[in-house]
Structure 1
Amino acid sequence: MKKLLFDLFPLVLFFIVFRFADIYAATAVAMAASVAQILWLKFSSKKIEGSHWINLAIIVVFGGATLLFQSDVFIKWKPTVLYWVFACVLLGGRYLMGRNLMQKLMGAQLTLPEPLWDKLNLMWSGFFIFAGIVNLYVAFSGHFTESQWVNFKVFGLMVLLLVFVVIQSVWLSRHMKDQTDQAD
């Protein structure tokens, strides 16, 4: 739980600052919080995960462009780019490097046959691609305000993730039960 809160720290600050200021102040604070997050991990000798580095690079590039050009377009692209990078890493790891990164991440908690690991990897990749598309729709369709997009970025994407995790858990438990039944 502490790790989740720590990982969400820049997002929470982005949301709070947006409520009291504007998208540019919120972006600057999210950038600073992301840098502070990496520095804290480094100086406390904790592991800096690849996802932290990816998030930092994307917030610095897209947040920096937002501030430099005074255009919210860049920060609205940030969640999509982040999710699509995650999808590319999962797919590239599996199909270009022959490594299933979901298995590497979750292998200590789950024992699954190789075909299920491949499906799980594809499911996560598909989720990230879908979430990126939905973000683009909310950000740029013209049907939502900037404030609604911020709420979606903070809460809507989190709800999508939770729904996906529940669906995935049900799917996994069903397939694991099928595997157990076949073994008996």
Structure 2
Amino acid sequence: MKFLFDLFPVILFFITYKVYGIYNATAVAIIATFVQIGWVWLRHRKVDNMLWVSLAIIVVFGGATLIFQDETFIKWKPTVLYWLFAAVLFLANQIFEKNLIRVMMKDQIRLPEPVWPRLNASWAVFFSVMGIINLYVAYNYSTDTWVNFKLFGFMGLMFAFVILQAILLGKYVEKSDDQEI
């Protein structure tokens, strides 16, 4: 359910684009992200930093799209977000010696220490590549194709990457003392 909630602005963007075009879809995505943050705030009294970052990026790039009536800005939004994710993962690890993937996942999965840096790096590379793919699709295909890819292509790539990660990590997962073998 959280997965669908996270995709709420993207799904509304997609539907609105198909009916009303890119500029209305952009406005809806901005509003939907504000609504999403409002909902999270009302339910938990706390909003994740990444959701705030996502809001800032959609407001800046979506706002520029609407002000200048140029869809190029909204097409850059996923790339900026993915590259920001990649940079944060990389820089937190390199500068602050903080493995953010481990911080986020340590309660869900136990892995040997040497695996965590590789997992962090693989996510940083994945997000970097996703940003490049977005630009490739945005500049080489129609807006309609880009919008379809934004929802279905990225979701498929993310799903495939997570499945691949699960398969690769399966051999490293450590059993906790209270789990039966």
TM-score (norm 2): 0.93
Alignment partner of 1:6 is 2:11: no
Structure 1 runs (4+) greater than 6 angstroms displaced? none
Q: Report the CA distance between 1:43 and its aligned residue.
A: 2.5
Q: Any idea what the Cα deviations from partners look like across 1:138-169, whole Å, max 9, x if unmatched?
A: 0012xx11100000001001101111111111
1:157 aligns with 154
Q: Report the CA distance between 1:36 and its aligned residue.
A: 1.0
1:138 aligns with 137
Q: Any idea what the Cα deviations from partners look like across 1:64-117, whole Å, max 9, x if unmatched?
A: 000010000000000000000000111111111111000010000111122100
Alignment partner of 1:87 is 2:79: no
Confirm or deny: 8 A CA contact 2:92 2:100 kept in the other structure: yes
Determine the C-alpha separation between the residues in 2 that align with 1:3 and 1:176: 24
Determine the C-alpha separation between the residues in 2 that align with 1:108 and 1:46: 22
Alignment partner of 1:171 is 2:161: no
Determine the C-alpha separation between the residues in 2 that align with 1:106 and 1:44: 23
Amino acid at match of 1:96: I
Matches within 5 A, 1:95-134: 95-134=94-133
- Unaligned 5+ runs, structure 1: 178-184
Matches within 5 A, 1:18-33: 18-33=17-32
Question: Over aligned residue pairs, what C-alpha RMSD do you find?
Answer: 1.2
TM-score (norm 1): 0.91
Determine the C-alpha separation between the residues in 2 that align with 1:167 and 1:7: 21
Aligned residue pair count = 174
Determine the C-alpha separation between the residues in 1 that align with 2:44 and 2:86: 29
- Unaligned 5+ runs, structure 2: 175-181
Determine the C-alpha separation between the residues in 2 that align with 1:117 and 1:130: 20
Confirm or deny: 8 A CA contact 2:109 2:173 kept in the other structure: no
Percent sequence identity is 50
1:44 aligns with 43
Helix, strand or coil at the partner of 1:111 = coil
Q: Which range moved further: 106-115 or 9-18? A: 106-115
2:57 aligns with 58
Helix, strand or coil at the partner of 2:47 = coil
